[in-house]
Structure formats: structure tokens, C-alpha cells
Structure 1
Amino acid sequence: MPYVIGIDGGGTKTICAFQEVESYDPLAKPHREGDVGEGTNPLTVGIEMMRARLHHLIHHGLRARGIHPGEVIGICAGIAGTRVEANRLSVLRELEQIGHHLHVNENTIYTVKSDLYVALQGALHPKDEAGVLVISGTGSNAIGMSEDGQLFYNGGWGHLLGDEGSGYAIGLQALNAVCKAYDHRELPTLLTGMILATLKLASEQELIHYIYRDVKNKNEIASLAKLVIEASVESDPVALKILNDAGDKLVDLVRGLRSKSASLDEATPVMVAGSIFTYSDIVKNRFIAGLDVHKLGRYQASFAEPVDGAVQAAMETISEHTVKGDKVDGR
């Protein structure tokens, strides 16, 4: 029986899900389980590492479920770092090579979308034709889709040029707050002891060595956001200010989308995703309040996960080819 594969590939982790075509119901909230692997953003891990990780996830998933490669008729990968067309085409070629190496159906239809696109497709309720999705995890960005299918983006500039309201930005602000507290330029904060203990540093001055010599990637700084969330539970004023500021910055992403498209209005559903929204009620509540105050949209819980959006995109592509009369049957 035919299957499609949906992939949600981010900078930190990748999820690969398998869906039997005949049992797919676009109106039903999915409860499928996907295999989880490491990040596959080619801009951060490189094209070769991306290929190896995707190959492993697909191969392992097929074997674990007893799916013959020839039964796979569609693969959609939503991969971070593919908003630029040249990057998308490069990943598409790699995905086709993976399929060829694994001996999937020769008529398999391959699709590569941005991770933002599949996340939006997963978040949107089937009855909605337009919507906005704001993501705050290690980084931050937003995507909006009008009723005619036109896409609009905001943010996504990376940790050096943007990522406001993200885990990275929150972690960096926490480090900055510790330095300012040490200099008596800002209030003392619980973050000082928490960060020094976590990083195994003897004093604030050792942060200079840590930040300029020891930090290997942005994920390390982003991981400090959990300390800010913990400190906020203890009503630490500095932590509360950092998180509320993050919520405001994420509202600005929606404001930017609204200025790019007149078709997005205060009735447009706005969904959220990412670890910061998941673990910080302060950020989420501040964000929702900001939408309401500035009449930027209507908050709505996400319908499904990003990987489900990739499965949906794979199914839609299969349907389009079926209408055209192309052969896509699994053997």
C-alpha cells in the first residue's frame, strides 16, 4: 500500500513521519508519531551532514515500520534554511539522491518547502484558508498566508541580525543583565547565581572568557533561556522584564506581516510554535495580549504539528499529480 513521508527539519532537531495514503483524513487531528533526529538546516550543519541525517531517519523509519521503499510515493521535506530558491533546489537534489539510494518508488514525487511553510500548514485548522504563525525557539520568525495562498515572511534574519524574542535573544539578555548587575548598572538578579552555577564559572568576570572563547554555537546561549523562565517563576524582576520584552518583540513580527499584506486583518487566526511559547506562559500571555491590544489578529491554538504540515503538503502534491494523470501508485 502507498505511503508518503513528511519531514520537519529545523536547526536543532528533525522529525520524520510516515503516513499511509488510503487512511489519510485531512479533517482529523493527527496523532501520528515521528522519528526524531538531529538538526538538518544545511546552512548550519552543512549539506553533507544534512544528507546523512535525513538518510538515516528515512531508512530507520521504513525498517522500523516494515514499509517497503517501493511503497513510498511522496516525500515532502520542510527544511530550515531553504527560503532562498538556490538552497531549496540544492536540498531537493539531495533528497532525490537519498530516495534513489534507498530504492524508493521510481515515480516518487519529491517536494522541499521551508520549515516555516510546513509549520504553518500544520498549525492551520482545515477550515482556515489564511493565517499567521509565529515561531520562537532557538531563533524567531513569522509567516503569514492570505486566502489566495500568497506567503509573507517576517524575521528569520538569524542570531546576529535578528531573532528578537527567541531563546537566543533571551539567553543573551540574561548574560547582559548579569554583567550590568555586577557593574551596579541594573538591579541584582537571581540569574547571576543560576548562570554562574550552570556554566561552572567562579565569578561574573569569567563570562568574558566564556562568551568570546568557549561558546561553540548559538544553541548554548539559547539554552540559558530556561534559567530565565525558572527565575521568572520566582518573580525575579529582571527575568520578568526580559520575558515580557520577548513577548513584545514577537508581537512586532505580526505587526510587520500586517504591513506587508492588507489581506491579513484582526480576524486572521494567529498561531504560535516553539519552545519559548511552550515553556513560558509569560511570553505567550504577553504576546496574546499584544495581539488584542493592537488588533493584529485572533489568537488560535495550533491544529497540528509542523511534521503534520509536511505530510499534508506531500498528500496535496500527490493529489495534484493524480489529477494530471501522472503515475504515482506504490508497487
Structure 2
Amino acid sequence: MSAVLGIDGGGTRTRASIVDGERVLAFGESGSIKRLRVGADVAEENLRAVLKDVFAQAGLRGVKAASAGVASATMPGVKEWVTGVFDDFGVERSEVVGDEVIALDGAFKGGPGILQIAGTGSNCIGRAPDGGRESAGGWSSRLGDEGSGYWIGLHAVRRGLRALDREEPTRILETVGVLWGTKTIEELVNLGDSTPGPDFAALAPAISELAEEGDAVALGVLQQAATDLVDSVLLVRAKLRRKHNPAGEVPVAWIGSVIGKSRLVREQFFAGLHRAAPEMPVGKTEVAGIEGAVWRAQQLAKSAG
């Protein structure tokens, strides 16, 4: 048996693929398996559902190796939980790493580079030619994740409320009210301040649309998001240079819906990096994290002999 399994468990959805050599035997999707986001029971249900799907597609009862990139992989019990489910599906050898790790290998296949993640959350991770790693951000939605979908939604509401105080024109609060089903500012504030609260990341597409239509407050939010993402890349670049002294520039790749789907963020992200480091190669297409999970699973299978 030479088939391997790759899992990309992001904050919003989970992707799984079974590959044998160059042949993709199965691919499936389910909801998030991030326990902090959906809870342990739903995460378990989503993981088992996607595994049942891909193993049925492939017609297999086990695989030689599996690599799972999971948001919040370092949280207590997550690795043991995923490994236990893998055991139930006949996985011979497995690893559970952060989703940023599989995305980095999806871009660079073990080689040097910097990856900016900007989806529901954000994180930047870099690897030097000597294998050393550096990072910036990824400190959770409440404490960091600048430039992420969550950050955009949260700060759009905050700036919308400040614009209301200043009597500045913006459609942000009107738009959020429609999406949240709130009829007054008081209802909107109470819902936004509740625990666990609404899905701020889900507001990001609407904020991007408002910015495209010329809403100055929404545009300011996206401009700040792009600036923060550029700053994260430059910070990791500086740390790699200071601590690992790479010869020349290392390439930059990216993944996530904020850069992928928001034209304004994407263009300003590219432009900001070019201004700061004109010689630094920046990928123009989005990385597929699932490809990194499969690649890592294949390396794991090879090391097992």
C-alpha cells in the first residue's frame, strides 16, 4: 500500500485528499475541525465525515501515512484526538501539525520561503535555506490576526461606530445590520459584544464590496489590513536575515481568502512588498495547503521505508 492522506483543516472548512503516487484517488470537503471555533463534538463529526467520504471514494481501508494541518494544532489534546481518529481509519503512520506548516510546504516543498496566511485568521511563517524557521502573528482573533477576515470584520464595525460618532458617511453599520438581522444600533452593539459573538470573518466580503463601491471607511479598513500583512512578511524577512543570513532574497507565497478574493487587499499587498523589497520574488497565485499536507504525508511514508 503506497497511498497517503493529506488533511487541510483550516478555520472555516476542511479538505482531505488521498493520493497514490501522482494519482489523486479521492478528494472531499467538510466543515471546520478547529475545536475552538466549532466545538469538540462538531469537529469530531466533521473530521469523521470527510474521512469516511474520501476512503469510500478511494475504495481503501487504510493508508501508509497521513499528514494533517490543523488550525490550533498546539492546543492540548488536539494531536491525540486527530491521531486517534486516524487509527480508526487504518492510518499506519501520521503527524498533526499547524495548518501554516502544510501551507508552507505546499508553496516550497521543504525549501526556503516566506508564507503569508490571510484567511479567517492570519499568520506569517518563513524558512531559511538552513531550515531555520521564523514567524510573526498568528496570536488568535482576540489578541492578533491582523489583516485577517476576522480582523477586517471586527475593525470595520469599530470604525463604523466611530464614523457614526463623527457623523462621517459610511454604509458599514447598515450593511452589518442586514447581515446580522439587527434593527437598531443598540441591537448591533449588543450582538457584536456578546459571547461567543457573531462571525466577524463572514463580514469581510461585504466590507470589500463596500470599499469597491467607494465607501471611504471600508476602504481604510482594507488598506490597513494590506499594510499589516506586508509588515508581517517584512518582519519575518528581517528575522530570517538577522538570524540565518540567507544569500539573497527568499521567495514569498500567500494563501487565504483575504488576499485571494479582495482585489484591493491583494493589489496593495503586492505593491507594498514591491516598494519595500523590489528584488523579492512574490507568487501571484494562491498556495494550496492540501498539496503541502499530501507532500508531507509522502515524505513520512518514505521515511517509514
Retained in 1: the 8 A contact 2:114–2:237?
no
Please report how far the alpha carbon of residue 202 of structure 1 lies from its aligned counterpart in structure 2 after TM superposition: 2.6
Unpaired runs of 5+ in structure 2? none
Q: Which residue of 2 aligns with 1:3?
A: 3
Q: Which residue of 2 aligns with 1:114?
A: 98
Q: Matches of 2:82 and 2:180 in 1, distance apart?
A: 39
Q: Which residue of 1 aligns with 2:273?
A: 291
Q: Which residue of 1 aligns with 2:70?
A: 79
Query: Are residues 1:134 and 2:125 paired?
Result: no
Retained in 1: the 8 A contact 2:11–2:121?
no
Residues matched between the structures, number = 301
The code of the aligned residue for 1:226 comes to P
1:1-331 to structure 2, matched below 5 A, reads 1-21=1-21, 23=22, 34-47=27-40, 49-67=42-60, 69-70=61-62, 72-82=63-73, 84=74, 87=76, 90-102=77-89, 104=90, 108-124=92-108, 129-184=111-166, 187-213=168-194, 216-217=196-197, 220-262=199-241, 263=245, 267-295=249-277, 297-302=280-285, 304-322=287-305
The code of the aligned residue for 2:29 comes to V
Q: Which range moved further: 312-321 or 199-208?
A: 199-208
Q: Which range moved further: 203-212 or 276-285?
A: 203-212
Please report how far the alpha carbon of residue 198 of structure 1 lies from its aligned counterpart in structure 2 after TM superposition: 2.2
**What TM-score does the superposition give when structure 2 sets the normalisation length?**
0.89
Q: 1:99 to 1:167 in 2, by over 3 A?
A: closer
Please report how far the alpha carbon of residue 217 of structure 1 lies from its aligned counterpart in structure 2 after TM superposition: 4.3
The code of the aligned residue for 1:75 comes to A
Please report how far the alpha carbon of residue 183 of structure 1 lies from its aligned counterpart in structure 2 after TM superposition: 1.4
**What TM-score does the superposition give when structure 1 sets the normalisation length?**
0.83
Please report how far the alpha carbon of residue 114 of structure 1 lies from its aligned counterpart in structure 2 after TM superposition: 1.1
Q: Which residue of 2 aligns with 1:325?
A: none
Partner-residue secondary structure (3-state), 2:229: helix
Retained in 2: the 8 A contact 1:135–1:273?
yes
The code of the aligned residue for 1:113 comes to V
Q: 1:32 to 1:245 in 2, by over 3 A?
A: farther
Q: 1:39 to 1:284 in 2, by over 3 A?
A: same
Please report how far the alpha carbon of residue 188 of structure 1 lies from its aligned counterpart in structure 2 after TM superposition: 0.7
Please report how far the alpha carbon of residue 66 of structure 1 lies from its aligned counterpart in structure 2 after TM superposition: 1.8
Q: Matches of 1:277 and 1:248 in 2, distance apart?
A: 12
Task: Could you list the structure 1 runs, at least 4 aligned residues long, displaced by more than 6 angstroms after superposition.
Answer: none
The code of the aligned residue for 1:276 comes to V
The code of the aligned residue for 2:217 comes to V
The code of the aligned residue for 1:144 comes to G
Q: Matches of 1:96 and 1:239 in 2, distance apart?
A: 43
Please report how far the alpha carbon of residue 280 of structure 1 lies from its aligned counterpart in structure 2 after TM superposition: 0.7
Retained in 2: the 8 A contact 1:92–1:110?
no
Retained in 1: the 8 A contact 2:8–2:293?
yes
- State the superposition RMSD in angstroms: 2.4
Q: Matches of 2:64 and 2:180 in 1, distance apart?
A: 48
Q: Which range moved further: 160-169 or 305-314?
A: 160-169
Q: 1:175 to 1:269 in 2, by over 3 A?
A: same
Give the number of the structure whose alpha-carbon radius of gyration is greater.
1
Unpaired runs of 5+ in structure 1? 25-30, 323-331
Partner-residue secondary structure (3-state), 1:272: strand
Please report how far the alpha carbon of residue 42 of structure 1 lies from its aligned counterpart in structure 2 after TM superposition: 3.4
Q: 1:198 to 1:38 in 2, by over 3 A?
A: same
Q: Matches of 2:160 and 2:151 in 1, distance apart?
A: 14
Partner-residue secondary structure (3-state), 1:267: coil
What do residues 11-44 of structure 1 show as CA deviations (whole Å, max 9, x unaligned)?
22111111013x36xxxxxx88631111112344
The code of the aligned residue for 1:78 comes to G
The code of the aligned residue for 1:76 comes to S
Please report how far the alpha carbon of residue 178 of structure 1 lies from its aligned counterpart in structure 2 after TM superposition: 2.1
Please report how far the alpha carbon of residue 199 of structure 1 lies from its aligned counterpart in structure 2 after TM superposition: 2.2
Q: Matches of 1:273 and 1:162 in 2, distance apart?
A: 18
Q: Matches of 1:112 and 1:199 in 2, distance apart?
A: 35
